[in-house]
Amino acid sequence: MLGRVNHVAIAVPDLAAATAAYRGTLGATVSAPQALPEHGVTVVFVELPNTKVELLEPLGADSPIAAFLEKNPSGGMHHICYEVADILAARDQLVQGGARVLGNGEPKIGAHGKPVLFLHPKDFFGTLIELEQV
């Protein structure tokens, strides 16, 4: 079911500082920041040859990464996103296998304009897994 690793997401308290560290210290290519108010984050993409790392900073009062940053004030690895060919088929197979889908179980349109779902980290050993249909 799992396809490519679409991205690894890292929550950070200060996107400008994190961008400077990835661009400067680590010598990576980092995109311009993109505010995604409907997702409660501002994001930059660190472009690697085979995948990307997304650096996320909270945006607005109800950011979905606010609680994570309260628990991890310096930041940390937040989730991993795998590509799937058919997100509804993947969801049905996962639910049948006993996994829990976050929210109401229906895909939402994610940061890349594609349907996404999140799986409960308790079902996958503490890792928040995002699935994105590509």
Residue 125: CB atoms within 10 A of its CB come to 6
- What is the C-alpha separation between 91 and 106, in angstroms, rounded? 9
Q: Is 92 in the site for a second copy (CB under 8 A)?
A: no
Tell me whether residue 12 or residue 38 sits nearer to a second copy (CB atom).
Answer: 12
Task: Choose the catalytic residue: 54, 57, 130, 132.
Answer: 130
43 neighbors 34 (Cβ within 8 angstroms): yes
Q: Is 105 in the site for a second copy (CB under 8 A)?
A: no
Q: Pick from 48, 67, 85, 134 the residue near a second copy by CB under 8 A.
A: 48
Binding segment (CB under 8 A) for a second copy, from list 35-43, 58-66, 94-102, 104-112 = 94-102
Q: Is 60 in the site for a second copy (CB under 8 A)?
A: no
Q: Is 26 in the site for a second copy (CB under 8 A)?
A: yes
54 is catalytic: no
Tell me which residues are annotated as active site.
130
